[in-house]
Amino acid sequence: MSFKGKVAIVTGSSSGIGEAAALQMARGGAKVVINYSKSEDDARRVEATAKEAGAEVICVQADVSDDTECRKLAQAALDAWGRIDILVNNAGRTKFANHADLDALEADDFLDIYKLNAVGPYQMIRACLPTMKKQGTGAVVNISSIAGLKGIGSSIAYAASKGALNNMTTSLARALAPEVRVNAVCPGFVATPWFRKTFGDEMFNSILERVSATVPLKKAGTPESVAEAICFLASDASAFVTGETLLVDAGLHLDPMATNR
């Protein structure tokens, strides 16, 4: 997929889905801002890989839950290349809590998760909007989750934050047209390094086997498979698409018994 002449910011792109999306765009000719909050070593590794592919990239530390940091990140792209064509809002967080255990979450948990998962994307879009409007074109892809549509996933706070992000995608697609397109990708389970690190090899492999056996397509998602959908919505191939919430979940949403997986 060609991104020649495009400038892309991918938040949370030091690993997982963000890394895969940033590298696919870089290999397609985009100039890419690699963003990280804490994992500089991982971000530098992604930067080096993109440069090996011949791409122009910069690596920028920024916590996108902070509005000042969002503006810094957008300005870094402008300082380097003078434009912003694509924004992928990938950075996010969660807290694991059984949905039936209402004592497992406090108000601060909701606020912490919302601040990055919903407010962060809003702030990043706002920071990039003047440039996109001036250019007359721009594409935003919000990385949401099936949790935001089905009320499943790691916790109620996480599911609620992604539901908010989906609703915001629709609202902003309407408000920012015709210059800026806003879409969302909603993955199901994705076999990322974060999941392996969080659960350990044995539990990770067990989850992977269970998901692969359950979903209609009989395979779990990978960062690269989700990145393909992201790149489609970010590219000119989807120039007639806005306000879309695209499920990328191997058919998990077709299962009426889908629960907290």
Q: What is the pLDDT of residues 78-119, one digit of tens each?
A: 999 999 999 999 999 999 999 999 999 999 999 999 999 999
Cβ(46)–Cβ(34) below 8 Å: yes
Query: Would you place residue 193 in the very low, low, confident or very high pLDDT band (cuts 50, 70, 90)?
Result: confident
**158 carries an active-site annotation:** yes
Residue with more model confidence, 191 or 111: 111
Contacts with 240 (C-beta within 8 Å, 6 or more apart), sequence order: none
Q: Using an 8 Å Cβ cutoff, are 181 and 241 in contact?
A: yes
Q: What are 223-258's pLDDT values in tens digits?
A: 999 999 999 999 999 999 999 999 999 898 987 665
Catalytic residue among 36, 114, 122, 158: 158
Edge-to-edge strand order for the sheet containing 138-143?
A: 57-61, 31-36, 7-10, 86-89, 138-143, 180-187, 245-248
Q: What is the 3-state secondary structure (H, E, C) of the chain?
A: CCCCCCEEEECCCCCHHHHHHHHHHHHCCCEEEEEECCCHHHHHHHHHHHHHCCCCEEEEECCCCCHHHHHHHHHHHHHHHCCCCEEEECCCCCCCCCCCCHHHCCHHHHHHHHHHHHHHHHHHHHHHHHHHHHHCCEEEEEECCCHHHHCCCCCHHHHHHHHHHHHHHHHHHHHHCCCEEEEEEEECCECCHHHHHHHHHHHHHHHHHHHHHHCCCCCCECHHHHHHHHHHHHCHHHCCCCCCEEEECCCHHHCCCCCCC
Of 87, 104, 86, nearest to 95 by C-alpha is: 104
Neighbours of 206 (CB within 10 A): 12
Which CATH superfamily includes the segment(s) 7-190+223-250? NAD(P)-binding Rossmann-like Domain (3.40.50.720)
Please, are residues 116 and 35 in contact by the beta-carbon 8 Å criterion?
A: no
Q: Tens digit of pLDDT for each residue in 113-157?
A: 999 999 999 999 999 999 999 999 999 999 999 999 999 999 999
Q: Directed axis angle between helix 120-135 and helix 67-81, to 10°?
A: 30
What integer pLDDT is reported at residue 65 of this predicted model?
98
Instruction: Please state, in angstroms and rounded to a whole number, the distance separating the CA atoms of residues 137 and 193.
Output: 34
